[in-house]
Amino acid sequence: DADVTQTPRNRITKTGKRIMLECSQTKGHDRMYWYRQDPGLGLRLIYYSFDVKDINKGEISDGYSVSRQAQAKFSLSLESAIPNQTALYFCATSPSATYEQYFGPGTRLTVT
């Protein structure tokens, strides 16, 4: 089984809809991250969490919110989706000791 899983893997939604992307991990890592990738670009950090009670904004947090339900679960919500949020979304985890990041398979989100 994959260590970092994301659901759904693909999603098409309409402008104005609320949508939640979920991430689960079995690696036992404290730190979790959400990134987005736009075509032809690198990844940009949306939010990160160093433990269940610690959540921080990344460089592009506007229009997004997150919830850290447990050490193993970190969800990303788009409260009112807009077309320019169409992107590939990645969840990642890292241990406290080395900060090496491990990525999930990604969620391809299309907002029409």
User: Which residues would be at the binding site for other proteins (CB under 8 A)?
Assistant: 31, 33, 35, 40-45, 48, 58, 88, 90, 94, 98-103, 105-106, 108
Q: How far is the CB of 86 from other proteins (least distance, A)?
A: 14
Contact 58, 89 (CB under 8 A): no
Strands 64-70 and 4-7: unpaired
Q: Please, which residue, 13 or 103, has the CB nearer to other proteins?
A: 103
d(CA 65, CA 46): 9
Q: How far is the CB of 43 from other proteins (least distance, A)?
A: 5
d(CA 7, CA 22): 5
Q: Please, which residue, 36 or 79, has the CB nearer to other proteins?
A: 36
Q: How far is the CB of 98 from other proteins (least distance, A)?
A: 7
Q: Please, which residue, 8 or 16, has the CB nearer to other proteins?
A: 8
Contact 29, 93 (CB under 8 A): yes
The tokens describing 52, both together, are: 């269940």
Q: Please, which residue, 64 or 90, has the CB nearer to other proteins?
A: 90
